Amino acid sequence: MLRYIARRILLMIPTLILISFVTFIVVQLPPGDYLNAYVAQLTAEGGETVDRQQIEMLRERYGLNDPFIIQYWKWISNIIFEGDFGRSFEWNAPVSDLLWGRIGLTFVVSLASLLFVYCVAFPIGVYSAIRKYSLGDYVFTFFGFLGLAVPNFLLALVLMVISLQVFGVTPGGLFSPEYAGAPWSFAKLMDFLAHLWIPMIIIGTASTAALIRVMRANLLDELNKPYVETARAKGQSEAVLIMRYPVRIALNPFVSRLGWELPALVSGAAITSIVLNLPTAGPILLTALQSQDMFLAGSFILILSVLTVIGTLVSDILLAWLDPRIRYS
């Protein structure tokens, strides 16, 4: 088991190198660079003409004229050796200052959604499979498809209205205005939790609906397997044997989904965050991409990718722990 984990971690290294490279290419891909975008913006706003020489000087200073591979190396070596993600052109601040708070919140929101997804999808999926074609199964199926079909932003708007009309909580954001800039305290935590449920539900709904279907289908496949009959013939009670045997095996795809559920939640979070005005990574990533603020955008994407790779690793380790057939081969 330890060797398995060690091998998986070793294999992560080439994956991460590739990801960082591709990230940098993608961020560089649009024609021009931040300065072009900046000049265009200035010209559009005030009709000012910008001094060509000054632009060239800036370009030289930021190393924007260097060949691609050297730019990449400067960027990645600073990250690895000095933990320096570079400076954001647009915010004129170190990327790391902008990043950490937002990445942290993004992950709290995503993890809360993930927890919500699994806690809701697991029991409903099991119920729907065992009581196939019952009234309850049909009801859950109906809501499941509804959850899949309704776009996140629409759900966000609806919940915002409900939140304001029914609960009187100001919708949008993750904190009430009085706590937004305040240091962490118990009161701020409670306020945060009161705001958390809306994005949690919105981001999680589609995944929940999908996972219910996955769990139901997996379990239906397993319920008629001969080993279930063996357990029954042993005299085991129905509740125990279903949880111990078919559910345990049906969990495999449920767990392996974890790996790609994470990036889906993070990207889902971007749209929702913009609608709900959450101080998470989504909105800032969008503006960074629009203005070609390459270090900021690149670092964001890189960190999210690393987290995704880690998510995949966690799900693989969980799988190996659950299923001896994977562990031993």
Partner 1 sequence: MERGHVIPMNPVDPDAVLTVRNMKTEFALRTHTLKAVDDVSFTLKRGKTLCIVGESGSGKSVTARSILRIVPEPGKITGGDVILHREDGDVALHEMGDRSPEIRAIRGADIAMIFQEPMSSLSPVHTIGFQIEESLILHTNLDQKARRARVVELLRRVEIPDPERTADRYPFEYSGGMRQRAMIAMALACNPKVLIADEPTTALDVTTQAEILDLIQELQDEYGMAVMFITHDMGVVAEIADEVAVMYRGQHVESGTVEDIFANPREDYTKMLIGSAVRLEEPSPIKIAMQAKQAAQTGQEPILEVRGLVKQFAAKRTMLGKLVAEGVRAVNDVSFDLMPSETLGVVGESGSGKTTLGRCIMRMHEPTSGQILYRGRGTDTEITGLDKKGLRDLYADIRMIFQDPYASLNPRMTVEQLIGEPLRNRKLGTPAENRDRVADLLVRVGLKPEHMERYPHAFSGGQRQRIGIARALAPNPKLIIADEATSALDVSLRSQILDLLLEFQESFNLSFIFISHDISTVRYFCDRVAVMYRGEVVEIGNAREVCDNPTHAYTKALLSAVPRPDPTRRRIADRHRYVAKDADLLSNGASA
Q: Which of 8, 59, 74, 232 binds partner 1 (CB under 8 A)?
A: 232
Q: Is 238 in the site for partner 1 (CB under 8 A)?
A: yes
Q: What is the 3-state secondary structure (H, E, C) of the chain?
A: CHHHHHHHHHHHHHHHHHHHHHHHHHHHCCCCCHHHHHHHHHHHHHCCCCCHHHHHHHHHHHCCCCCHHHHHHHHHHHHHHHCCCCEECCCCEEHHHHHHHHHHHHHHHHHHHHHHHHHHHHHHHHHHHHCCCCHHHHHHHHHHHHHHHCCHHHHHHHHHHHHHHHHCCCCCCCCCHHHHCCCCCHHHHHHHHHHHHHHHHHHHHHHHHHHHHHHHHHHHHHHCCHHHHHHHHHCCCHHHHHHHCHHHHHHHHHHHHHHHHHHHHHHHHHHHHHHHCCCCHHHHHHHHHHCCCHHHHHHHHHHHHHHHHHHHHHHHHHHHHHCHHHHHC
Of 6 and 189, CB closest to partner 1: 6
Does 7 bind partner 1 (CB under 8 A)? Our answer is yes
Q: How far is the CB of 205 from partner 1 (least distance, A)?
A: 31
The one segment of 41-49, 118-126, 140-148, 224-232 that binds partner 1 by CB under 8 A: 224-232
Between residue 269 and residue 328, which ones bind partner 1 under the rule CB under 8 A? 322-325, 328
Residue 225 contacts partner 1 per CB under 8 A: yes
Nearer to partner 1, 210 or 249 (CB): 249
Give whichever of 251 and 262 is closer to partner 1, judged by the CB atom.
Answer: 251
Among residues 170, 227, 260, 277, which is the contact residue for partner 1, using CB under 8 A?
227
The window from 24-32, 48-56, 241-249, 284-292 that contacts partner 1 (CB under 8 A) reads 241-249
Interface region with partner 1, contact rule CB under 8 A, candidates 101-109, 202-210, 221-229, 301-309: 221-229
Binding residue (CB under 8 A) for partner 1 from 56, 60, 97, 229 = 229
Can residue 329 be called a binding residue for partner 1 (CB under 8 A)? Answer: yes
* 131 touches partner 1 (CB under 8 A): no
Total residues at interface with partner 1 (CB under 8 A): 25
Residues in contact with partner 1 by the rule CB under 8 A: 7, 224-227, 229-238, 244-245, 248-249, 322-325, 328-329
